[in-house]
Amino acid sequence: MPAAEIGVIGLGVMGANLALNISDHGYEVAVYNRTVAKTRAFMAEAGALSEKIIACDTLEALVDAIRPPRPIILMIKAGDPVDQQIAALQPLLDRDDLLIDAGNANFRDTIRRFKALEDSGPTFLGMGVSGGEEGARHGPSIMVGGKRDSWQRIEDVLTAISAKYEGEPCAAWVGEDGAGHFVKTIHNGIEYADMQMIAEIYGIMRDGMQMEPAAMAGVFAAWNDGPLDSYLIEITADILQTQDDESGKPMVDMIVDAAGQKGTGRWSAIESLRIAAPAPAIEAAVGARSLSAMIDLRTKAEAVLGVPGQGEFDLGATTLDLLEKALLAGKVAAYAQGFSVMAAASKEYGWHLPLPVIARIWRAGCIIRSRFLDDIASAFTATPDVDNLLLTPEFAQIVTDTDRALRAVLAEAIRKGQPVPALASAVAYFDQLRRSRGTANLIQAQRDYFGAHGFVRTDAEGEAHGPWHSEE
Ligand code: NDP
């Protein structure tokens, strides 16, 4: 009788830590990695946990080591490697074995794989995992998509290994086929916006206020005791007070300002555009990362255009309080947008995404974990059918309380040439959202003028046209 209850394929950063986490919770786990040397190194470092881990050098050995019906987690590079791995496993697996892709797959690939395996098997689940290396080892946030009864087959192990927020597991089934990977994608899109807004505030402090990293670390650490309390603010404080042993300078000052990106932020922005659910803060964050990578261009532009306003950002004695409130306001806009993209996608793909559950499983384990997400979970639980987070009484109140600060910070930043693309997108979003009569009437008139696209009159139903070309 095979001993293992579950298998893990891929012993990279995430897979290795997930396998240790699973065995740490008392499950016998079989592991396999394409490069066998990595399996050996993993076993050598697993210590006492290696007694509950079965190392397998071939896929056949892995399949033989797991009790059927076999749950197998794939934690390998996303994209073609996943298709190749499924193709190699398919002949070895039974119809009711359960293959769980836990990498950062594009949800469209997950839908395709789910459909392709629906008749032939094995059963397929797409699972978003967040929390990086630490999360994988000690408790990630887990978002599962696929058939609900497939999730129920591995619910015990996934809830056991997940992060806990005040005892509640941060793992849940969120919908059919690609829903889990979609939710993970939007998680990452929100993460991009949150990080960009923090970086914009850091930029104001560093360049506009000429603050040293250690002083900024103190400010972020203090903010972490208030409404901004979150993992990202906590690590920002920690990063800013870390010294580089080689140069003796603050580590942050020794890092080239060109941000990497692997695609999930961009996918979030693309999907929001595709389903017409605007997420300008996420778009701004993706754009800012792309511009950050164009160092040559920025260097040339600095020589031609100059850098305005160094050290001139000043809003008086309450500047830091205003920055804190502005960051909170921006964060509210970014999360409202991310959740509204999920609400729209839920309708588009028929997923019925449970927004309060998603907020709850993001409260711990993942990169955007925060007290703020507990507030979002409460707001969506109290008002489940609300169209936008900003319409809930709790978040409408935060907007009211932070609005003046956001505008003051943005006005000063723009006057002094501080780049604030994501924060500025937040105020534009608020201002457009809350106006029942905007300016698209002019756009409709223009469209009708040059293209006879028609418009709806304010005083009648049906399509109308304007008298634009009556003299011709
Ligand atoms: P690593 O680069 O550390 O490991 C990659 C793994 O994929 C290795 O086991 C590698 O095997 C395997 N692999 C690559 N190509 C193939 C292939 N063609 N066939 C079989 N196996 C292959 O990556 P991570 O552990 O960081 O990431 C794994 C997945 O998890 C990715 O989808 C990533 O996007 C996602 N993820 C990562 C997070 C992170 O913070 N790092 C967070 C959340 C999700 P080999 O050793 O043979 O090269």
The answer to whether the beta carbons of residues 395 and 332 sit under 8 Å apart is yes
Looking at residues 136-158, what average pLDDT do you find? 97
Residues 6+ apart with CB under 8 A from 122: 89, 90, 93, 94, 95, 96, 97, 98, 99
Q: Which two tokens stand for residue 266?
A: 């961009």
Q: What is the CA radius of gyration of the chain?
A: 25
Pocket of ligand 1 (CB under 6 A): 10-15, 33-35, 38, 75-78, 81, 84-85, 103-104, 129-130, 132
- Tell me the CA–centroid distance for residue 76 and ligand 1, in Å: 4
Q: Cα(404)–Cα(325) distance, rounded to whole angstroms?
A: 9
Amino acid present at 160? A
For residue 98, the model assigns a pLDDT of 98
Using the mean position of ligand 1's atoms as its centre, give its distance from the Cα of residue 347 in Å.
32
Catalytically active residues, by annotation: 184, 191
pLDDT in tens, 49-77: 999 999 999 999 999 999 999 999 999 99
- Quick one: pLDDT band at residue 2, thresholds 50, 70, 90? confident
How many C-beta atoms surround the C-beta of residue 239 within 10 A? Answer: 17
d(CA 173, CA 171): 7
* pLDDT computed for residue 246 by the predictor: 97
Task: Using alpha carbons, select from 154, 157, 156, 159 the residue that is nearest to residue 142.
Answer: 159
Average pLDDT on 94-117 reads: 97
> Residue 471 has what pLDDT?
64
Structure tokens, 207: 């360049």
The letter for the amino acid at 84 is: Q
Select from 17, 74, 75, 76 the residue to mutate for testing ligand 1; criterion: most ligand atoms less than 8 Å from CB: 76
Segments making up each domain of the chain, as ranges: 6-177, 185-433, 447-472
Question: Which residue puts its alpha carbon closest to atom 4 of ligand 1?
Answer: 12
| Pairwise CA distance, residues 184 & 265, whole Å | 10
Q: Are strands 29-32 and 6-9 parallel, antiparallel or unpaired?
A: parallel
Greater pLDDT, 3 or 168? 168
CB-based contacts of 56, cutoff 8 Å, min separation 6: 30, 31, 32, 39, 62, 65
Looking from the CA of residue 105, the nearest atom of ligand 1 is 32
pLDDT band for 472, please (50, 70, 90 cuts): low
pLDDT at 248 over 90: yes
Please state the rounded mean pLDDT for residues 36-42: 98
Asked if pLDDT for residue 210 goes beyond 80, the answer is yes
| Backbone phi, psi, residue 163, to 5° | -65, 160
Whether residue 385 has pLDDT greater than 90 = no
pTM given for the model: 0.96
Q: What DSSP designation does 205 have?
A: I
Q: What is the mean pLDDT of the chain?
A: 96
Indicate which residue's Cα is closest to atom 18 of ligand 1: 81
Q: Which residues contact 116 (CB under 8 A, 6 or more apart)?
A: none
Beta strands (DSSP E) in 146-225 are 164-165, 168-169, 171-175
Quick one: average pLDDT of 429-454? 97
Residue 263 — left, alpha, or beta (φ > 0 → left; ψ -120 to 50 → alpha)? left
Give the pairing of strands 164-165 and 168-169: antiparallel
CATH class of the domain at 185-433: mainly alpha
CA gap 272, 342 in Å, rounded: 9
pLDDT in tens, 282-315: 999 999 999 999 999 999 999 999 998 788 999 9
CATH classification code of 6-177:
3.40.50.720
Query: Distances from the Cα of 233 to the Cαs of 20, 114, 239, in angstroms?
Result: 28, 37, 10
Give, as one character, the DSSP assignment of residue 462: S
Q: Give me the phi and psi of 387, to 5 degrees please.
A: -75, -30
Pocket test for ligand 1, best of 31, 38, 77, 101 (most atoms within 8 A of CB): 77
> Which neighbouring-strand residues pair with 268?
none
CA distance 236 to 248: 19
Please give the single-letter amino acid code of residue 390: L
The two three-digit tokens of residue 208, written as one number: 């506009």
Distance, in Å, from the CA atom of 360 to the CA atom of 165, rounded to the nearest integer, reads: 8
Q: How far apart are the first and last CA of the chain?
A: 87
Name the residue with tokens 């924060």.
423
